[in-house]
Amino acid sequence: MNSARQSALRVALLADARQRSGFRAFLEREGVQVVMDAQLDLPLPRSWNGAEVLLVAMNDKLGEVQLENLLGQSPVPVVLNLGGVGRTEIWGRELLVKLEALARAGSHESRELGPRLKPDLRVIPRSQAGDGAAMRVVVLGASLGGPKAVTRFLRELPEDLPLALLLAQHISEPFQDLLAEQLDRCSAWRVAVLSGQRELEPGHAWLLPAQSRVAMDPRGLLRCCAEPWRSVQKPDINLVLSDAANNFGARCGAIMFSGLGGDGAQGCQMIARHGGFVWAQSSESCTMASLPAAARRSAKIEFSGTPEELARELASRCQLHPTSIN
């Protein structure tokens, strides 16, 4: 299986102590350059030494939250391997093909996007945005695979739209600041973790905190409460969507991205019942499709597509109907 084409491949490896030596030996035997070899633990190393793709040798101790954070933090495409080093030539060939394909895809994406420079903080006059009572809000619900999907969505979404975004992403508290920083760098949208009391403003995306519930009012004010989310998943997407529906009515919408479980399904019903729209990421473009699938079972999905297609459709709605997104 060794070839000159494979010898140019630069791989970062994350595995536990029991599997690291076996995977490294296999990769180097096939001419792959292992540029980073680290323990399967978070946070990820800061230096990637020019890696083109990350190989993660998963084990049964890696939880959903850890996996979600890992996928969200990796600056390169990720290949997940479960079951250790295989013993057959077919296993080795398939793994190398996946590594090379993702490395090429990541390189192409970087060339296409090129360097993105974030502009200074934008201020959209109230004459464009309307007062707080007219603010339009879109809630983005996401779990496993959500950070990658939302990154793609924000990169494609124009920054001058008259709406604000609320991101309800299942994530543990220690990693929410890092996720907000990564999302803030990926596009011209301003992304930050919500703290204290804030007013919704167009061109801003607020990552809802994992440690405290968020209260809303129809004027567009958001406030972090002393009480925690009561659900196992934090933040509680169902509660966020229900509160948005009750406070903003037909002025809000929901987009459900990649994720595990069914959190948000009931909230999507509330959004639709109050006249808002419910969209979902297409199953084939999801890392995990159960979250948008649950939304499809509970509410009418008006539009479904890749993260890029969802962004373009939202921009088109705003441009065609400047006073409404429904």
pLDDT band at 324 (very low <50, low <70, confident <90, very high): low
pLDDT more than 90, % of the chain: 46
pLDDT band at 115 (very low <50, low <70, confident <90, very high): very low
- CA pair distance 30, 48, nearest whole angstrom: 21
Let me know whether 62 and 204 are in one domain.
no
- Residue-averaged pLDDT of the chain: 82
Is the overall model pTM greater than 0.75, yes or no?
A: no
User: What is the domain range of residue 314?
Assistant: 126-320
Burial 174-202 (b: 16+ CB within 10 A, else e): ebbebbbebbbebbbbbbebbeeebebbb
Let me know whether 44 and 165 are in one domain.
no
Domain end call among 51, 81, 113: 113
Let me know whether 101 and 184 are in one domain.
no
| Cα 65 to Cα 175, 272, 284, 305, distances in angstroms | 10, 29, 22, 25
- The verdict on residue 120 lying in a domain is no
- Residue 46 sits in a domain whose CATH number is 3.40.50
Let me know whether 269 and 299 are in one domain.
yes
Which residues lie closer than 8 Å to 179 by C-beta, 6 or more apart?
69, 72, 73, 147, 169, 171, 207
- The verdict on residue 118 lying in a domain is no
Report CA torsion sign: 312, 130, 182, 287: negative
Let me know whether 253 and 281 are in one domain.
yes
- CA pair distance 93, 246, nearest whole angstrom: 53
Q: What does the pLDDT look like over 55-108, one tens digit per residue?
A: 888 776 665 556 666 666 677 888 877 678 887 888 888 888 888 877 776 554
